[in-house]
Amino acid sequence: MLFPSVSLVLLAPAIAAAALGSNDHVQVQQPLTSEFSKIPSLGFGTWNLDQSNVSEAVSAALHTGYRHIDCATVYGNQKAVGKGIAHGLKSLNLHRSDIWVTSKLWNDHHDPSLVEEALTQTLHDLGLAYLDLWLMHWPVGNAPDTGKSQLDYLQAWYAMEDIHKTGRVRNIGLSNFSPAQLEDIIDHSDTLPSVHQFEVHPYLPQSGWIEFQQELGISVTAYSPFANTNPTYKSGKDDPPFLLINLDMLAVAAKNGCTTAQVALAWGMSRGYSVIPKSSHVDHIKENFGALDCQLDLEDLDRIDDISEKYLKRFNNPSKDYGVKLFDGLEDA
C-alpha cells in the first residue's frame, strides 16, 4: 500500500516490537517525540464501560497492573474514570507520574476559541492537573452556524499546539485520520503528532499504514483490538465470525496456553504499538493483562497475519453519520 510522501525528515526508526515479559514490569512503547515518552503498550480502555461500575473497573485495572488509562470526553464517564484513578492511586500509594492518561478532544469543540475550554473541562472531570496525551478524536468538527459535521482539523490542531506549550498536556496526537489528513497536519504545523490512535485487529491489520507512521516517529495505539467482539458493532450476515472464536485464533491460543483475547493483544503488542482493551469485569481485566505473558512465535504471528486475507473488515466507520468521507486510502474504508 502506498501512502503520501511527507515533506519532513524522518525523526526516528520504526518502533521495535514490544517484548512480552512478566507482569512485574510495565511495557513501554517508544519513541514519542516528547520528552515525556513512556506510554505502556498495554492500556485500559473506558469506551462503553458499564456505567454502574466505571470507577471500580478503572481502580481494578490499576490494581491489576495497568498503568495506561484511555478515555475521552464523548464517552460521558470521565468523572467516574477520575474517581477510579484517584482511588487506585491512593490505595496503591502511587503518584500521578506513575500512570499514563490519554483523553480526546470531541468534535463540538474544534473551534479554536473552544479548545482550551474542552481541555479544562476534561482535567476537571478527571481530577488531574495534566494529561499525558490529548488526541483529536476525529478529523471532523461541527460547523458553528449549523452544527453540521464537516472535515475540520487544522485550526483545532493549532490551538492544541498552543496548549501543549503550557504543559497541561504532555503530548498531542490524532485519532482516525487518513493518510492525506495526516500529511496535511505535518506539512502545515510545527508539531509532529506523538501518537495516532485508530482501529487495528487481525481483521483490519493496516500493516503498511502502521509502519509508515512508525518510520516517521509517530507511535500507534490500536483501539477495538478484539474487533467485532465489541457489542457496539452490529454484526451482519456477511461479517466474519467474532474474533475471539475465530478458528485460527483458537488454534494459536490452544498451542500457547493462552486465551484468544490474550493472543489478540499479544499479536498487537508484538507489532510495536499499544493496545487498549476494555472490560467492566475484574476477571476479564485480569485475563487481558495476562497478555504480557502470552508468548507467540513467528509461526503464530504469521498465522494471525493471514486471517485478514479471508476476512477484511473495518467495524467503526461513521462516514455516513457525519456525511464526510473518512479513512480515504486505507483498508476497507
The answer to whether 223 is a known catalytic residue is no
Q: Which three cell numbers stand for residue 27?
A: 511495557
- Beta-sheet strands, E only, within the chain: 28-29, 39-40, 44-45, 68-70, 100-105, 133-136, 140-142, 149-151, 172-175, 195-199, 219-223, 274-275
Q: What angle do CA 216, 222, 226 make, to 5 degrees?
A: 155
Give Cα 286 distance to the centre of its chain.
Answer: 19
Residues near 87 by beta carbon (within 8 Å), at least 6 away in sequence: 55, 59
End-to-end CA distance of the chain: 13
> Which residues fall within 8 angstroms of residue 100, CB to CB, at 6 or more apart?
38, 39, 40, 43, 67, 68, 69, 132, 133
Q: Which triple of cell numbers denotes residue 54? A: 466505571
Looking at residue 31, its amino acid is: P
| CB-based burial label for 25 (10 Å; 0-12, 13-18, 19+) | exposed
**How far apart, in whole angstroms, are the C-alpha atoms of residue 132 and residue 155?**
22
Strand, helix or coil at 204?
Answer: strand
Q: Which of 75, 153, 203, 223 is catalytic?
A: 75
Q: Is the peptide bond before 31 cis (omega within 30 degrees of 0)?
A: yes
Set of cell numbers at residue 71: 478515555
- 229: which 3 cell numbers? 467482539
Largest CA distance in the chain: 58
Q: How many beta carbons lie within 10 A of that of residue 244, not counting itself? A: 17
Active site residues: 75
